[in-house]
Structure 1
Amino acid sequence: MKAVFKIVFLSFLCYSQFTLAQQNYSPFEKEIITKSKPLLDHPDFAKAQGFFLQKEWDSCFVYTLKQLSIENQKKEIQDFCHFFRGFGFKAKKLFKESKKEFQFISNDFPFHNHIKMFLGEIALEEKQFNTAINYFNAIEQLHPDLLLGIKKSSVKHNLGLCYLHLEKYDKAEHYLLEELQLEEAQNDTAVLVGSYGDIATLYYDQYKDNLAIPYFEKAYHLSKKVNNYQLKQNAALNMAVVEENRKDYIKALTYRKEYEQWKDSLNDQNKVWEVAQLEKQFTVKQKQKEVSLLKAENKIKIAERNGLLYSAIILLLLLGTAVYFYREKTKNNKIILAQKEALSELNATKDKLFSIVSHDLRSAVNALKISNAKLLENLAAKNLDELDSLLQRNSAIANGTYNLLDNLLHWALLQTKQSYFEITAIRLYHCIEQMAYNYQPLMLEKNLVFENTVSKNDFVCADQESLKIILRNFIDNAIKFSNENGFIKIYTQNTDEKYCTLIIEDNGIGMDAALQTALLNETTLLSKTENEAIVGTGLGMQLCKSLIQKNNGKLDLKSDVGKGTKIIVSLIKKQSNG
């Protein structure tokens, strides 16, 4: 998000007020200077104002805190100090502290509309888009005289971004075009590059490529006139994506090379910045000494002012320390007990895993041993037909054993809570296509017809990696239990407002009611298949059940012996609001 105001960085620290002719102040900074001028007879406040204009936030915090420690001072000075601190915390991305400082400011403060703007920007950063819209709407229609340096275009831009994130494209388009009209009148090249890019993204998200591409091209050509490597890099990358979608891979490659060039330039610039940061470390240490000195001065004042209460404070501290250590001891005992219980569960899980490994891997290895013995006999007899059959059998056993080990690993990670898990919005169609692509050779081997009729507009909220594991296991089972010349169909049903129902259907060997009940039973870890030609444990089904449950979904299945199986997975739909 673009910054609403630009504060000039000063290389020389000065605590007195400069004249407007001496500094290139923004309209907002000029208003700060004008409104705070009557208060500059307070030395600490004058220093705080000077550091605020120079973006020296740590020094500004020091002197605002020192000014606020003075009792019985004007409410206007307190408002300005809290305003400086709130603005500084926002600049340092400390949003919680920033909002806390803004709450201390009275409603008649001259820059109260700026506070609404800043709170809106914080809400936008925290993805609270509806809250942000309320703040921006409160200042959108105000007369320019009341804005005191707030740019109308910035308000329009922020509203456009909010509605874009909420996927309310009509409103987003309205505000972004209004912002663009204002920015074109001001002819700020760097800002225009970002504005063109935002509008292009708006149209591109709606698959309106004919409207998006001209704005991408405008942003790209205009980026040539600015010195901002990040803008150049983003513009080149956008053009590379556009040309890739146009299937013009030569131009796409050219833009990719330019993107890498600007990326390298940006990395070089970052290295220079790192050197500058090292040079500032000495200054930071000096500021820390100032903070320590001010804290010592405050402690002396408090001691002088509150001498009679000093003993009571010590007693309260001792009592608080005793209570603290007692609570820590209780907490540690609870932690130890919980760790003991967790260790017992882990040991039980370990024993169960060893049991699975010893039984199923022994069966698979024994099958390979017998098959290899036959393979050697037929190799000596040069029985090519039998050799081909045995090699295919060995391949099937190896693939089954590999899938067992892979599922075993993921199941163990899930049981021991070591797996990474993040719920995001996922387009189902592309995820299924990616998984099915890996199984095309197996489908061709059985001459299976595969159909993916899932809508490209179906989005679900799930962890991407766990969803891939679920799809991989169900597609693998569908292939494994299908007859030759059969079919596998994957499609969705959207009869529920909350859930998107995904169905994996095959016309294979199916299963009876007893096996279905056992597979859906949460207490059943393993269920051996009755198909003697397939090495299986049911661990994949158990893993899928656990992962679907962790994704807040539901699992069901319908099957008839000899007619096929339907695996029914219900996942939460992506919500349309922010």
Structure 2
Amino acid sequence: MINKLPYILSSLIVLLINNVYAEETPKFYNDSAEDLFYDSPLESYKMAEKALVMATNMSSTHEIVRAYVNLSRYYTFKENYQRSLDSLYVGVEYINEIPRETAEQLLLSISQNHLILHSNNLTFDQFINSNDEEVFWRKNYNVLIKLSAYYYNNYSYLNANDNLQKALVLAQNLNDSSCIAEVNYQIGRLAVAIEKYDRSLVYFDKALPYTIASKDSLRASKIYSYMGESQMLLKEYSTADSLFLLALSFSSKSTKNHYLVLKNLGKFNFNQGKYAVSKSYYLQALGNMGNNYDSDKAFIFNELGDISLLDHQLAESKMYYDSAIWYSKRFQDFKNLEEALVGLSEVAVKRKDFKLSNELLKNSKIAQSKSTEQKEMEAISYSNAYFDTYFKELQIIDLRQDKYIKDLILEQEKEKTSLLIVLLIVVLLGGVLLVLWFIQTRKNAKLEREKAKVARDHNEELMMINSVLSQSQKELLNANQIKDRMFSVIGHDAKGPLISVRNQVFGLIGKVDKESTVYEELVNSEILIDNVIRLINDLLNWAMLQDEKIELNIEKVDFKEILEANLSLYQQVIDRKKIVFDIDLPSNTILDTDYQLLSFSVRNLLSNAMKYSPEGGEIKILSQRTESSFTLSITDHGPGITEEKMDSIFRMPESFVAPSPDREGLGFGLPMTARFVKLLKGEISLKSELKQGSTFSLEIPCLK
């Protein structure tokens, strides 16, 4: 402590100077509390108290929560975990009004305190700070509702549902109609988000009576709007129309829900083909939104663009799509951005501007990939250690039931004092058991009869399923034949033109100044065309592997001819990168093997070596032949391969990634090479060192 004293004094002096010259704000005091905590916890506590008072007066929810987190850290330091949790639970009240980073810090602090309490074997009542069961239930109910809203807003639907189900138990214990209605509404809304529309209708029906009785027009409008949306997606169009109109009658023009109802009515009528009515509702929704930059405007402008396009109003359609693009970019809504770009592409086609249409479609593909990434990010689950660890081990206890059990045990202890009563109980129990045995015997006989009936029914169902499966098998065989024809078209009709285009591009490269941007674009185009040709080859070979149609054609093969033929394929790459080859072949290179499989394997290994070799690099090709086997090794001086990637390099990838100038093929080359070498009854291996290079080796039999 003495060693730290100079540092503490200097920190306090700096803090005093900052108090004089800096602007005193809640953020300043919270930052000071965090800086001083490890060296002077008491001073940190005082700063947090000042931050709380000032943030409360200024209604700054973010700084209020930060202040409570800083206070809880001090209480935890003093091992006053109960008071620490009380501070944190107050912060939960604002969890939906603060940045996600602060919210996650708050939840982490709660979980840490609960884990400490649990490890010290403290009971739930000791840190909930209430012995009154109703206060206990209501306090936990409020926390669960706040947390479920936080998880819902952050797309963590599993955690949201978990908290709502617990909140429903507490609401039923409280016997509070408003709480029960609130939970049912929240569960219904969650069911719509996860596309469980039948389930959502059940919960909305439970929430609706109290909502109507309490004259909560805004909530009623939201419920009817959600119910209409669910019925529409369940294709109950007549019911959906009535529900949307009810939602509209309950909504006020001054609320956000009013334009949402109008938007849903527009969507409903659009799906019904009533485009004029749909357009009217969408325009009313936009008018109700005013100049607010609402993210829903992107969707509405896309719909209006589609309607105008159907009416052949191209100028109007373009205006709407342009607006949709503006709002989509503003709110990073890549799904609506993709749809707007596709719509503009269709407008360009109708205007016979095919070049613009093609550019717009390319941009829409980029937006589509961004939209996919966005969905994956939204699917990330934000865990809450408090409910994941504590509530899974402890159930919410019904204290009234617990009291009843204690009274029953006490009564039984009193009855034990009388031997006569004990004997009477034994006789009664024996009679009851006898009656239960008789009843159970009859039930078992009835159950056996029912089982036999179910077995007969199941046999009939299995026969029907067998028939359906036979038909499905025929359809699958037909589909497989269609797939084979498609791959045949790809292999023979697509590769030839692509090779011609690649040769023309290569010819142009030699005529263009290397310093110009056109030269770089031509080089990238050539690489991309090579990648597409490789992709087609990978697809064809992959299809053959999937169908297991590869049959070995063992014949006399000259390995030297195979090597020379494959090197000539890459002569342009060799010349451009100035790659030097060190080739060592035996005098006898005649093998008994399959020409196509060996040529494919050599081509893939050569391509891989040239791809990762630097300009002016050297590739060493060494082969040896014995009486029964032939070995080949290809060594490059590229960046090398990590051990992690070496473990999976010969396995088929689990997902497809589109080729690009930075990526060749689908990643099937080496896995298929390994499969082909195995078909040749050989083995393939890899040795690699980072920044040193890699050596791929294969060994195959050379005689029949």
Structure 1 length as normaliser, TM-score?
A: 0.46
The higher radius of gyration belongs to: 2
Structure 2 length as normaliser, TM-score?
A: 0.39
User: Greater relative contact order: 1 or 2 (C-alpha under 8 angstroms, separation 6 or more)?
Assistant: 1
* Greater helix share, structure number: 2
